[in-house]
């Protein structure tokens, strides 16, 4: 079975979509119009902003690092921004590899991306815990995003969907939709062979698997990770279900 993305097709954010309607726990479904994921919002047109206002969006969660956020800042009327910085590491690691005299290959790029995902679990869990705190605080429509809306955002989406009982194949489906939707802006294309850039600016199942395997190895699975590390235990799960499931 396939699930069409609830994409808004915004002019200034190609990877903006609704997590609603996915089948979830107990035969219920994700509630549309409450949780959105996206690439960055700095290039939204006035028409895009009007659409977000019509959706009732009042909160954004920005996972970008400090330099990323300063370079592509945004202000949306009536929208409160929550900066939960996760600094990017792929470019720095790629540069270090090249400085050591090694040629950067697509295989190297995939390894760097997988390490980035492991680091989400090992070093950035407090940011994802704060996202859940905001989701539990209110069901006011919220958009969470990073730069491309694929890695930091992709892992966050996987955590949310798992917490609400969405099955793994559908979580992976949502994750891989970035490869259909995201359009690389010229200003965000780094220096390097195109074969390498295609790895860095797309997603692969092995990336998400690297994070999920790390969760399994260090915490015994997603459910204990949610409870013991992110503060999303049984009572919080029930609250999330009441807020975000039909």
Pairwise CA distance, residues 199 & 113, whole Å: 8
Do 61 and 82 meet the contact criterion of CB atoms below 8 Å apart?
yes
Question: Of 172, 40, 215, 192, which Cα lies nearest the Cα of 109?
Answer: 192
- SS3 labels along 190-220: CCCCHHHHHHHCCCCHHHHHHHHHHHHHHHC
Annotation says 185 is catalytic: no
- Nearest in space to 128 (alpha carbons), one of 150, 151, 160: 160
Instruction: Return d(Cα 17, Cα 6) in angstroms, integer.
Output: 5
Active site residue: 44, 61, 109, 146, which one? 146
For residue 92, with 0-12 CB atoms within 10 Å meaning exposed, 13-18 middle and 19 or more buried, which class applies? exposed
CA 161/CA 95 separation, integer angstroms? 34
Active site (catalytic) residues: 146
């Amino acid at each position: 079975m396939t699930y069409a993305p609830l994409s808004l097709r915004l002019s200034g954010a190609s990877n903006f979509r609704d997590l609603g309607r996915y089948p979830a726990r107990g035969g219920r479904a994700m509630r549309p119009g409450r949780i959105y994921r996206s690439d960055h919002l700095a290039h939204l047109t006035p028409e895009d902003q009007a659409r977000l206002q019509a959706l009732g969006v009042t909160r954004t969660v920005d996972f970008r690092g400090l330099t990323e956020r300063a370079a592509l800042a945004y202000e949306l009327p009536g929208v409160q921004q929550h900066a939960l910085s996760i600094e990017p590491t792929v470019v720095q690691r790629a540069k270090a590899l090249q400085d050591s005299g090694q040629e950067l290959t697509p295989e190297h790029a995939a390894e760097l991306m997988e390490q980035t995902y492991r680091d989400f679990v090992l070093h950035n869990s407090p940011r994802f815990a704060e996202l859940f705190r905001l989701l539990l605080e209110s069901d006011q429509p919220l958009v969470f995003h990073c730069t491309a809306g694929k890695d930091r955002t992709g892992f966050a989406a996987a955590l949310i969907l798992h917490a609400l009982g969405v099955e793994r194949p559908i979580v992976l489906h949502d994750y891989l939709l970035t490869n259909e939707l995201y359009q690389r802006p010229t200003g965000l294309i780094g220096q390097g062979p195109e074969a390498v850039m295609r790895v860095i600016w797309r997603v692969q199942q092995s990336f998400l698997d690297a994070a999920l395997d790390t969760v399994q190895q260090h915490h015994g699975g997603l459910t204990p990770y949610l409870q013991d590390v992110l503060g999303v235990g049984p009572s919080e799960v029930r609250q999330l279900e009441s807020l975000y499931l039909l």
